[in-house]
A and B are shown apart, each in its own frame.
Chain A
Amino acid sequence: MHSSTALAKPRQSLIVRFLKQWQIQVMALCGIVFVLAFNYAPMFGIVIAFKKADYSVNLMRSLTEAPWIGWDYFKEFIHDYQFRDILLNTIGLNLLQLLINFPAPIIFAILISEIAHKRFKKIVQSITYFPHFISWIVFGGIIINMLSVETGVIVSALLKLGIISEPVSLLGEPNAFWPLIIITSIIKGLGWGSIIYLAAITSIDPTLYEAATIDGAGRFRRIWHITLPSISGTIIVFFLLSVSNLLNSSFDQLWVFQTPLNLERSEVIDTFVYKIGITQMRYSYTTAVGLFKSAVALILLVGGHLISKKIAGRGIF
């Protein structure tokens, strides 16, 4: 094919071959220029975490002229009165999301695939995919309305069920924040998250199930021995993706539900960086905080890898 035609000709110099393929080189270099500007330049910008470049707006000037300050900003963050809460919330919320929101769509996809009634299946899918298409702002706004003490449906339902004894504002209750985040992300994302697993399940050879049924396997054994192993490849790929994204909180979601009253359970590194960094223009300090987050994520990843290797004999990667 292509390589054979190239071999038939005498070997040309690299420059000649490069110039001959200038069209695809231009196309490829467009991508390279883009990532250099928008991905690599910010990586070099990390240097300002170790420089006193706060309140300065010019990146180039900050990089070259600002005085070095060492680890001072890292120390400042560790001594911040909110530090413990922020670290706990960032790690806790993300681990919880990983533990609950990762397996949930797999279970949901299996439940849907067990429905024989085509119409019902379609209705369930249309309804549960829908919230994915509306923003967290809109969805959060809707939930906030439902949580209203006077007019919302949730507080009066909880009162009737006897779960709470008097009307409370759940948004102002710090301990209600984590459950709120988990429950709302399940409602919004479960249907959409299941699509990929559902696609994997539909591509399983149906004769496998038939053979298993003849051999006397019940429903749960078929799920356990056929469905799950068949989609394990997809599961692993998506698990790796969510693990590599471990500490990147869903900013939009947290931002809608965050109120001054629930800060002690809702403030995470991402929201803190926005507030202090952008609105108060403390660029160097919050760059250091962001870098701290990446370091924690790396430690968690390597730690998790080592632990799972020790216990299960297999690492994350």
Chain B
Amino acid sequence: MATKRFDLFTICNYAFLAIFCLVTIYPVYFVLIGSFNDGNDYMRGGIFLFPREFSLANYQVVLQDDRLYTGFKISILRTVIGTVTSVFFTAMVAYAMSRKNLIARGPYYWIHLITLFFGGGLIPYFLVLKNLHLINSFWVYVIPTLFSVFNMIIFSSFFREIPEEIHESATVDGAGDFRIFLALFIPLSAPVLATVALWNAVGHWNSFFDAMIFTTKGDLMPLQLFLMKMIREADVISNSQYVPPQVQKKISVQTIRMAAIMISTVPILLVYPFLQRFFVTGFMVGSLKG
């Protein structure tokens, strides 16, 4: 669709997209400069483009809160363990469901499908987890998300496209289904597995709802819940009484929040360039197949 000249539509289109990009990126920039500004000075208002009084005091205070480190630890652990186990478990079920000779495949399929349309709601779900003794355990982040019917369907439709001859020749060589799944199907479907793993990881890293309802212990608090408490409940920095007075003068509730928000975004900023290369190429192939 090459256009020879810049017509009105093209100009408007470029302008609109450029403005939309600014609107998207400016909030992050706004918080970045705020977090580097002296807290008391910030409260005078009017800081929109550059920090007025540069200060690292906000970061100094945030970085000494133990809950930040607990949050990072829990978030990283649940993202890694949760994503790996969920992708593996879901792919395993999907492999079995993609075998045409699986006895009772039809009924199994319907049992899965019904769960996409009906559910018990939050409270009965909560009570089930309580009865399984998952409340206030780290595993409440991992086990309930182990399996996703939606992802299972994506995986198994991909597995079904893998030529049957591969399975047959492996069977002739004496490999059982577990072996075939592990040594052949997993490597063959790496792009789809990676795509679903990405969705999964983003979900794990960003979630706070399950932590908020299923845990009450401070040492199970993921990063997002810590941030939520800071932002919504104005629960700012527990040990601020240990902050020396000269630092105390340079901070404010708002700028401390900004610093905490920035710190929690750093890991994403670090991974984003790598993810990006991945989802513009391999991603589309993976998502379209599903």
Interface residues of A (CB under 8 A from B): 1-3, 6, 14, 17-18, 21, 23-25, 27-28, 30-32, 34-35, 37-46, 48, 57-60, 62, 111-116, 120, 122-146, 148, 150-151, 153, 156, 187, 190-191, 195-196, 199-200, 202-203, 206, 209, 219, 222, 244, 251-252, 255-256, 270, 273-274, 277-278, 283, 286-287, 290-291, 293-294
Contacts and interface: CB of A to CB of B under 8 A. Distances in A.
A28 B97 contact: yes
B132 A128 contact: no
Given A32-B108, A196-B287, A27 B16 contact: no
A191 B124 contact: no
Given A38-B125, A115-B14, A115-B17, 4 more contacts: A14-B103, A45-B128, A59-B130, A127-B24
A45 B261 CA distance: 39
Contacts of A139: 27
Main secondary structure of the interface of A (DSSP, over half): helix
Nearest to A131: B24
Contact of A287 (B2, B121, B152): B121
B28 interface: yes
Interface string B133-166: 0000000000010110100100000000000100
Closest 3 pairs (CB-CB, A-B): A42-B120, A45-B124, A290-B121
B96 A145 contact: no
Interface of B: 1-3, 7, 9-10, 13-14, 16-18, 20-21, 23-25, 27-28, 30-31, 34, 42-48, 89, 92-93, 95-97, 99-105, 108, 111-112, 115, 117-128, 130-132, 144, 146-147, 149, 152, 164, 168, 176-178, 181, 202, 205-209, 213, 224, 227-228, 230-232, 254, 257-258, 261, 264-265, 268, 272, 275-276, 279-280, 283-284, 287-288
Contacts of B254: 145, 148, 151
Contacts of A150: 43, 45
A116 B227 contact: no
A122 B104 CA distance: 48
A136 B254 CA distance: 18
A116 B45 contact: no
Contacts of A125: 280
